């Protein structure tokens, strides 16, 4: 059953990418890329690089309401595999002032697909955003995974992540943003004794200068006791992360 779920996730992700690459004939296709160096790769409040530096990069394609892309990062989660590779696709239709985001994301971890722990998983996303003012954006999203692999040894859980986010653009050079989210699963003790969910939040700002984006952000969670990485450092406690990003 686990293998079938993984294969289904790969097939769905591939199908979404195929549809997005086809696009609408009347739309104008565009490609973009990015590279980044971050002091810590944090995903939903938890370090994926053992509180250490990570190298990242991605490639995106858009055509009308369709989009597709891939993104990767170096990781250190304490088991075989040092790379995370994400593949995603979907559509962004609009209805009045609301822009929707309906898509699928495949998370792949080369080197972890074995009889002990298979970290690969798929998530389905439904999001919406609105701009009540020219310089303000507000959004919400729900992510559903039928086979969440957040914690080794618990790779058959159903997970739901709900997030609220907002951003304010002050100028062409500076913007601030924040988000709060809750990750829950249908397995007891998934995040620790008696814990089947946790809340995470982040707040920070991005400075854009000379084609570079410099993001300084604070992340935290209410996970207690905190997760511990391969080096023994806590990976789910509060942390400040500096990221340098360049669009290609």
Read off the pLDDT of residues 32-81 as tens digits, 9 standing for 90 and up.
999 999 999 999 999 999 999 999 999 999 999 999 999 999 999 887 77
Residue 240's φ and ψ, nearest 5 degrees, are -105, 130
The percentage of residues in the chain with a pLDDT greater than 70, rounded to a whole number, is: 85
pTM of the model: 0.88
Query: SS3 for 24?
Result: coil
Q: Which residues of 188-205 are buried (b: 16+ CB within 10 A; e: fewer)?
A: eebbeeebbebebbbebb
Number of domains forming the structure of the chain: 1
Helix (H) or strand (E) holding 224: none
Strands 46-47 and 54-63: unpaired
**Domain containing 236: what range?**
2-247
Read off the pLDDT of residues 153-176 as tens digits, 9 standing for 90 and up.
665 789 999 999 999 999 999 999
pLDDT at 157: 87
Give the domain CATH number at 100.
2.40.160.40
Per the CB < 8 A criterion, the answer to whether 184 and 200 are in contact is: no
């Amino acid at each position: 059953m686990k293998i079938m779920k993984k294969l289904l996730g790969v097939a769905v992700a591939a199908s979404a990418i195929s549809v997005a690459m086809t696009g609408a004939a009347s739309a104008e296709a565009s490609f973009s890329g990015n590279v980044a160096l971050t002091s810590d790769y944090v995903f939903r409040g938890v370090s994926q690089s053992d509180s250490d530096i990570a190298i990242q990069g991605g490639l995106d394609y858009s055509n009308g309401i369709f989009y597709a892309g891939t993104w990767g990062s170096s990781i250190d989660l304490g088991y075989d595999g040092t790379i995370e590779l994400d593949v995603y696709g979907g559509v962004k239709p609009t209805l009045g002032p609301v822009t929707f985001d309906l898509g699928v994301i495949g998370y792949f971890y080369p080197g972890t697909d074995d009889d002990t722990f298979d970290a690969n998983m798929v998530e389905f996303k439904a999001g919406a955003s609105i701009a009540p003012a020219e310089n303000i954006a507000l959004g919400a999203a729900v992510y559903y995974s039928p086979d969440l692999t957040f914690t080794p040894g618990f790779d058959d859980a159903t997970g739901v992540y709900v997030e609220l986010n907002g951003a304010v653009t002050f100028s062409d050079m500076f913007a601030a943003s924040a988000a709060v989210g809750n990750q829950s699963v249908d397995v007891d003790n998934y995040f620790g004794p008696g814990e089947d969910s946790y809340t995470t939040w982040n707040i920070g700002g991005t400075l854009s200068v000379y084609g570079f984006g410099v993001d300084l952000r604070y992340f935290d969670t209410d996970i207690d006791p905190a997760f511990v990485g391969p080096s023994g450092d806590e990976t789910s406690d509060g942390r400040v992360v500096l990221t340098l990003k360049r669009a290609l």
